[in-house]
Structure 1
Amino acid sequence: MPHIVFDQMIDLTVFSEKFKEIFQKESMLIKVQNVFTDRHKRLALLPAVVIDSKNQNFLIEINVKEEKTTVRLYPRTDPEKTDGVLAALSMVGKLIMAIFPDVRVTKTNIEKMKEVN
């Protein structure tokens, strides 16, 4: 399962307030327009649309714990892991790094995120 783990807990309220819509239309279409958080601000779901080799709708999950933040595909939506789906995950990861410049990637299996730190 593709994922990105950051070294600290982010504030999902701040993330929601500063969230900027992701829209790419170059070689593939990637759209992430909203953030929905739970009432405890420990989990966020971001609906995503990717059109590359196929048209896929899925959810990206941001899970916040005491000493880390994890970005991954929401397990119940399980899209095919195409380049577009991986790009959408890495774009959300890069947005987190732009909003919270002190966070660092501690673990990932997405190539585009390995070169960011």
Structure 2
Amino acid sequence: MPHIVFDSKIDLEDFAQKFSPYVATEPYIIKLNDLFLSHTKKSVLVPAVAIDEKNQQYLIEILAKDEKTTIRLYPGTDPEKTAGVKMSMGCLAKMIQTEFPELCISKTNIAEFIQ
């Protein structure tokens, strides 16, 4: 399962306020249009669209725990793990790093998709 883990917890409420929709057209079409913050403010769901060899709609989940923040595919959706899906997760990671430049990626299995 593709994932990205940052070395500390981020303020998801702050990230939600700063979030703006993202669209890429090359090399794949990627859309991250919205963000939904949980009531507990410990998780976020981002509806995503990736169009590469397939057209897929799915959810990306961001979980903020005590010592880390994780980006993963929401278990309730099960897209095929194509390059476009992995790239959408990398785009979201880059958005987080832009807002929180002090964060470092401590673990990932999709490093080649994080620009």
Which bin holds the TM-score, normalised by the shorter protein? over 0.9
Give the alignment of 1:1-117 within 5 angstroms: 1-112=1-112
Q: CA deviation at 1:3?
A: 0.2
Identity %: 49
Q: Distance in 2 between matches of 1:99 and 1:46?
A: 16
Query: Number of aligned pairs?
Result: 115
How large is the Cα RMSD of the aligned pairs? 1.2
What TM-score, normalized by structure 2, do the two folds share? 0.95
SS in structure 1 at match of 2:91: helix
Q: CA deviation at 1:40?
A: 1.0
Q: Structure 1 residues 5, 113: closer, same or farther in 2, change over 3 A? A: farther
Q: CA deviation at 1:29?
A: 0.8
Q: Which runs of 5+ in 2 are unaligned?
A: none
1:2 offset after TM fit, Å? 0.2
TM value normalised by structure 1 = 0.94
SS at match of 1:57: strand
Question: Following TM superposition, where does structure 1 have runs of at least 4 consecutive aligned residues deviating by more than 2 angstroms?
Answer: 111-114
In the alignment, the residues of structure 1 paired with residue 33 and residue 93 of structure 2 have an alpha-carbon distance, to the nearest angstrom, of 15
Unaligned runs of 5+ in 1: none
AA at the equivalent of 1:85:
V
Displacement of 1:112 after TM fit? Answer: 2.5
